[in-house]
Amino acid sequence: MLSPEGKLKGDLTVFNWGDGSYWIMGSYYLREWHMRWFHGHGGTDEGVEVRDVSDAMVGFSLAGPNSREKLAGLTDADLSQGWLTHQYATVVGKQCLLVRVSFTGELGWEIHADPADQPAIYDALLDAGVTPFGMFALDSMRIEKGYRAWKGDLSTDYTLLEAGLDRFVKLDRNDDFLGKEALTNQRNDGLEKRFAMITIDIGAYDAPYMSTVWKGDEVVGEITSGAMGYRTNKFVALSVIRTDCGAPGTELEVEIFGERRAALVTGDDALWDPQNERLRA
């Protein structure tokens, strides 16, 4: 979702249920922001109804190479359905929406259900041998995949092109959308800065959000998020840096609490499972 200037206004997933209804999912804490945007940009047009159902559906993220095995005994769903599919199903007899996505880079599903059914589903997952994990683990895994998160890597500070999300937009088609003109002009004029993944030889501390990136004596960008990647055994950071510094193999430095540490640009491809074989398993 973009502003007229091509800056990011929202990071959403859209589900087409095939009956004329769509489910638009974003960060829960941004729901009022999203609703104001929808109602201010066509969400009240004739024939269109936008409702906030955030409190009617809550969910779990189930991920890992054994997630299909753990879920199989609890659901009537067709777990052979591929990546980026969704279906109605039951989990331990409770009606759910199962979505074949994962923010970890591993095989997984999101399980969305009525809040009243959440405890029973949660207990059944634990009984099946599922281990809970938290946001620090999730950040570690999603950063290795280069997945951007809202209000860090994705924010109103950057355009869609600067955030490296070119694959989600078709600027040469005849259809129009808010921000298209600005993005087209930016593409034609050339980007001054762009998303890049880098690895950092950290010392005693992780690189925090908005750590300065240096090339010699010049500031060339900032870290938007970073974490130790335990699958790659490297500290991985997502950044927005000057385009002339974005070639893979470029040596940079990242300032961490006053100390500059060596960094290496890896490009914009995932450092873990770049072909998405594990997601598609």
Q: Which of 225, 268, 263, 226 is nearest to 247 (CA)?
A: 268
Q: How many structural domains are present in the chain?
A: 2
Q: Which two tokens stand for residue 151?
A: 């209000």
Do 28 and 113 belong to one domain? yes
Residue 46's pLDDT band, with cuts at 50, 70 and 90, is confident
- pLDDT, tens digit (0-9, with 9 covering 90-100), for 200-246: 999 999 999 999 999 999 999 999 999 999 999 999 999 999 999 99
Integer-rounded Cα radius of gyration of the chain = 21
Do 230 and 175 belong to one domain? yes
Do 129 and 147 belong to one domain? no
Do 43 and 127 belong to one domain? yes
The whole domain housing 18 covers: 13-133
Q: Which two tokens stand for residue 37?
A: 């945007």
Chain-centre distance for alpha carbon 149: 5
Check pLDDT > 70 for residue 44.
Answer: no
Residue 75, domain CATH: 3.30.1360.120
Whether 8 is in a domain gets the answer no
The DSSP 8-state label assigned to residue 75 in this structure reads B
- pLDDT, tens digit (0-9, with 9 covering 90-100), for 64-123: 999 999 999 999 999 999 999 999 999 999 999 999 999 999 999 999 999 999 999 999
Residue 41's pLDDT band, with cuts at 50, 70 and 90, is confident
pTM tops 0.85? yes
How high is the mean pLDDT of the chain? 94
Residue 178, domain CATH: 2.40.30.110
- DSSP H or E segment with residue 58: strand 58-63
pLDDT of residue 92: 97
Do 102 and 155 belong to one domain? no
Does residue 222 contact residue 209 with C-beta atoms inside 8 Å? no
pLDDT of residue 28: 87
Whether 278 is in a domain gets the answer no
**CA pseudo-torsion sign 61, 67, 68, 69:** negative
- pLDDT, tens digit (0-9, with 9 covering 90-100), for 158-178: 999 999 999 999 999 998 999
208 burial via Cβ count (<10 Å: 0-12, 13-18, 19+): exposed
The residues facing 234 across adjacent strands are 229
Do 189 and 156 belong to one domain? yes
